[in-house]
Amino acid sequence: MNGYEDFSAFYDRLTTDVDYPARAAYLLSLFERYGTGPLDTVLDLACGSGSLSVELARRGLEVVGVDGSAGMLAKAMQKAENLSCPILFLEQDMRQLDLYGTVSGAVCVLDSLNHLLKTQDLREVFGRLRLFVDPGGLLIFDVNTPYKHRQVLGDNAFVFEEEEFLCVWRNRLVSRTCEVEMLLDFFVPEGDEGTYRRLTDVVRERAYSENTLRKLLLETGWETLAVYEDQTWTPPSAETQRMVFVARNTRSLGEALEGI
C-alpha cells in the first residue's frame, strides 16, 4: 500500500478538476438503478480528504469513511465539522477493514483500488467488504484501466504550479505488471529569500483488466451487475481510461446471521 502523508497536504489542490457533487449524484443514480433495498448507510472506502463523504452526508446518508492516511483523515474531519449528520471516520488499511456493523452499500472511487499491487490484496478487500455490506447490498468502485496506465500515465511527466507550491510528477511504467510508479516532488516556498523546501512522495498503482476484476469479484461472493465508462451509462471501450463496476453482495441473510 502507498503512503500519502506528504501528498495529503496538497491533494485537494491537485484534484480541483473533480466535481464531487456530480460524482455523488452519479453514484446514487447507480444505487437507484441496481439497488433492491433502501440506501441509508454508506461506506466510503479510501475516502481520502473526505470530499465525497461530505457530499453523500449532505444528501441525508449516514456515512462511514475509511482511509489508511492519518493526514487525509485530518483534512476529512475538518471538512465534516459543521455537518448536521456527523461522519464516522476510521483509520484502517482497507485489507483489514473492520466496521462496527454493516452498511447498506459501499463505494470506492478515484482509482483507490489501483493502489493494491497484488491480486491477493484485491481478493482480501472484496472479501472484507462482503462481510460488512448487507446481503444484496451494492459495491460501486472505479479503477484506472490498463490503457490509461500504458498510454496516458506511464513514462510521462506532469508539472503543476500553484501559488503555494510547485509539483513535479514523474511516472515510470512497469510494463509486465501494468504498474506505474509515481514520484511526486513538492517544492514549497520557505522564507523570503527564494528558497524552497522539497517534499517527496512515491505512489504506486497497478491496472487490472476488466476480466480479472470480474473474476476476483465472483471468487469473493460478488455478482457483477454492470461495468461502465466513468460518469456514463456506456460500456467501456478499448480507450476507456476509468471504468466503474457495480457489484451485488451474494451473501445470504442466513450467512450474515451465522456470522453474528
Domain of 195, CATH number, reads 2.20.25.110
Average pLDDT over residues 194-204: 89
**Res 1 pLDDT > 50:** no
Alpha-carbon distances, residue 153 vs 8, 110, 174, 208, 239 (angstroms): 20, 15, 11, 15, 13
Same domain, 75 and 111: yes
Range of the structural domain that residue 19 is part of: 7-144+208-258
Last residue of one domain, picked from the residues 191, 206, 221:
206
Residue 65 exposure: Cα atoms within 13 Å on the Cβ side: 28
Q: Count CB atoms within 10 A of the CB of residue 251.
A: 18
Q: How many domains does the chain have?
A: 2
Mean residue pLDDT of the chain comes to 92
Last residue of one domain, picked from the residues 168, 187, 206:
206
Task: Show the cell assigned to 210.
Answer: 476488466
Same domain, 48 and 96: yes
Q: With bands split at pLDDT 50, 70 and 90, how would you rate the model's confidence at 37?
A: confident
Last residue of one domain, picked from the residues 206, 229, 246:
206
Average pLDDT over residues 104-125: 97
Q: Residue holding cell 511526486?
A: 184
Same domain, 103 and 26: yes
Task: Show the cell assigned to 31.
Answer: 444505487
**Res 53 pLDDT > 60:** yes
Question: What secondary structure, in 3-state letters, does 15-61 show?
Answer: CCCCCHHHHHHHHHHHHHHHCCCCCCEEEEECCCCCHHHHHHHHCCC
* Residue 108 · residue 122 · CB < 8 Å: no
- Residue of higher predicted confidence among 257 and 211: 211
Write out the H or E segment, with its range, that includes residue 127.
Answer: helix 119-132
Task: Show the cell assigned to 73.
Answer: 483523515
**Cα 169 off chain centre by:** 20
Alpha-carbon distances, residue 159 vs 115, 165, 188 (angstroms): 22, 11, 14
